[in-house]
Structure 1
Amino acid sequence: MKYLLSCFWFCLTSISAITATAQVTQDATRQIQIYEDDDYFNVWGRGTDRAYSNGTGLGYIYMKNKKSTFLDKILLHQAGADAINVFEWDLMQIMITPNEIADTSYQPKDFYYAGALFATHALNSYNPIKKYSFRTEIVFGVMGPWSFTKEAQTFFHKLISYQPPRGWENQVPNSPLLNYNFTFEVMLWNPLKSLEIIGGLDGKAGTMTTSGSVYTYFRYGLMNPYFGDINLARGTKRRFQLYVIARPQVSVIAYNALLQGGIFRSTSSNFEELSGEQRTHMRNFTIGMDYGIGIVIKRTTISYTQKTQTEWMSGTGKHSVGNITLLIPISRKTIPEK
């Protein structure tokens, strides 16, 4: 049943991309983003229901001519005076579970039950002349029972008549989440309009995740330039886009609250007892590969990405999660009004 529902969702979003009227970054001043991670989505037909099991997000993406003030001006960095600036608000819930979700007992050789509910305020700032970009994010939210992840998974599994998760009594305790994330990307090689090779550095610091990553991002196909164009009309000229992507990456993780229990783990005697029995531990070094396809029709974008990574926790094995992202324009303007 879950497989059929997944297929239905993929078909539904594909149809939306074809019938809606509109693309990304500088090609629409306001957009809605629907973002869905699920480890049951798998191009090889090997879906699972464990580890990072699900992430559901809803976002609002917009451009503006007004200058940023207060925290936006201090924390969200622009890529120079000629930058194309795209702001973003997102709300997301994620869940992590062990492999045997029907088991009510604690599973010390697997993941903790963990969930988070958080908001993200971000700025994507592209420099079309020098071909580089900054993405800065402020993340704030909660983890543990306050995230209502138990209720969300229980409701969804009941809806699709799938096995109910029975181990949420063993989840990580409540903790606040506050993070500051920064990503830098730059064009490495662009010999053809149809081929872009981009290098990236990503850093995260805070009570949710502290980590660093380096990656290379390949795009090939019919597409508008990744970093845009100083001439908006020229930068958004192609109305139909079809391209494939690949992103090999290496990450070093110093801290992950959802894998380690959060900053208030010591205040929960029950969790301290459980963590004392834990037989697995977080990996500080991971290697991953993302690959997928993007389709743009007029200004509506749909992409599918398969994200595979070496094990997050020792002894749990590598894991793969599929992602569907849909961008729907809610404005006809491609340039913000002054």
Structure 2
Amino acid sequence: MKFFLWGIFICLSTLPAVQAQITQNATRQLRINEDDDFFNVWGRGTDRGYSNGTAIGYVYMKKKKSTFIDKWIFPKAGPYSVNVFEWDLMQVMITPDQIADSTFDPGDFYYAGALFATHGLTSYNPAKKFLVHTELVFGVLGPWAGAEQTQRLVHRLIHYQEPEGWGNQVPNAPLLNYNAYFEKMLWNPVKSVEALGGIEAQAGTMMTSLGAWVYGRYGLINPYFGALDLNAATRRKFQLYIFARPRFSLNLFNALLQGGIFKSTDTNFEELSNQQTSHMRRFTIGMDYGVGIGIGRTSIRYTQQTATAWMSGTGKHSVGNITLLIPLSKATYFPQ
């Protein structure tokens, strides 16, 4: 079975790879995103912790000015900004190390699933080389999210171990979050080298945290923050680059690790909480690294995301990510 999954991974990782930067002339695009801890460049795939996340999104630019929510809660990056909106639907699941065991392990993760939609704006300022990303997240946690059914179906299709412990998952709860991050160019000595810094904040019933990172990339690249001149922003029709992002997080709350806002009303979960010996780590550090390829407006990126333990006693964890961006329309640029 693992040889079968590894073959799938190899095939996906050789597809054309997603730009980390602005796609300044992509009016409408389809984005497919897959996180899985079996994906691992070192051949050390697992099936525990943050086990899987699958998302599909629609990325677009507008001719008309924003109204209602888009106008009031999504700030723009100034008069020269390039504004890229998005809608995404994502399902994520977290499982303990021993999924064949139906009993609760107090020193490991709870079973947890979430299903949520995201609506956001990434606003780039090509003149001052910074961006502001803001998003609203809303969805459900617990059995309502259908993560158990998804994992069971996939494991049956690939003839893998049946997960037996979903009776110990976090209870149902609504999710509502507002997230924002800011990135700014720090160093750009030549066209092939870029280094930038970023900070982020998340607040709501899904998670509350603060984070910071430094992101660097090298290769055949278009400008990360675009350019005032569209031809300069998209001068390369073929891109190939490597990247790395060391990061730090202060974690104040995470419903997938601790249970949602209604957890105290669920007597079964209260019993599990009283038994649990593991706890969420307040501070985590990590390193993301990988490779990206862009061919015109089609791109794919593979990222290996490694971080210290989210929960005490569970050890560091690594998750692979594949993101594919596919154009749905002809290249059109809407300056705003």
Counterpart residue type for residue 29 of structure 2:
Q
> Alignment partner for residue 73 of structure 1, among 71, 74, 99?
71
> Alignment partner for residue 95 of structure 1, among 88, 93, 98?
93
Counterpart residue type for residue 178 of structure 1:
L
Counterpart residue type for residue 173 of structure 2:
S
Task: Check if 1:279 corresponds to 2:271.
Answer: no
Counterpart residue type for residue 198 of structure 2:
G
Q: Quote the residue 2:246 is aligned against.
A: 248
Q: Quote the residue 1:4 is aligned against.
A: 4
Counterpart residue type for residue 37 of structure 1:
D
> Alignment partner for residue 182 of structure 1, among 180, 183, 186?
180
> Alignment partner for residue 301 of structure 2, among 292, 303, 307?
303
Q: What are the residue-to-residue correspondences of 1:158-237 with 2, within 5 Å?
A: 158-237=156-235
CA drift at 1:332: 1.3
Matched-pair contact (CA < 8 Å) for 1:13–1:326: no
Distance 1:142 1:236 in 2: 39
Matched-pair contact (CA < 8 Å) for 2:9–2:39: no
Q: Quote the residue 1:324 is aligned against.
A: 322
Overall identity of the aligned pairs, in %: 63
Counterpart residue type for residue 142 of structure 1:
V
CA drift at 1:5: 2.8
Residues 115 and 100 (structure 1), Cα distance of their counterparts in 2 relative to 1, 3 Å cut:
same
Q: Quote the residue 2:146 is aligned against.
A: 148
User: SS of 1:104's equivalent?
Assistant: coil
Counterpart residue type for residue 5 of structure 2:
L
Matched-pair contact (CA < 8 Å) for 2:184–2:197: yes
**Could you list the per-position Cα deviations for residues 84-113 of structure 1 after superposition, in whole angstroms to 9, with x for gaps in the alignment?**
000000000000000000001111110000
User: SS of 1:33's equivalent?
Assistant: strand
**Could you list the per-position Cα deviations for residues 267-319 of structure 1 after superposition, in whole angstroms to 9, with x for gaps in the alignment?**
10000011100010000000010000000012111000000000000000000
User: SS of 2:239's equivalent?
Assistant: strand
Counterpart residue type for residue 329 of structure 2:
S
Q: Quote the residue 2:117 is aligned against.
A: 119
CA drift at 1:25: 2.1
Q: Quote the residue 1:25 is aligned against.
A: 23
**Could you list the per-position Cα deviations for residues 205-228 of structure 1 after superposition, in whole angstroms to 9, with x for gaps in the alignment?**
000010000100001100000000
Q: What are the residue-to-residue correspondences of 1:262-273 with 2, within 5 Å?
A: 262-273=260-271
The answer for unaligned runs of 5 or more in structure 1 is none
Matched-pair contact (CA < 8 Å) for 1:2–1:160: no
Residues 315 and 337 (structure 1), Cα distance of their counterparts in 2 relative to 1, 3 Å cut:
closer
Residues 57 and 216 (structure 1), Cα distance of their counterparts in 2 relative to 1, 3 Å cut:
same
Matched-pair contact (CA < 8 Å) for 1:32–1:330: yes
Q: Quote the residue 1:14 is aligned against.
A: 14
The answer for unaligned runs of 5 or more in structure 2 is none
Counterpart residue type for residue 218 of structure 2:
Y
Distance 1:337 1:139 in 2: 27
Task: Check if 1:134 corresponds to 2:132.
Answer: yes
User: SS of 1:307's equivalent?
Assistant: strand
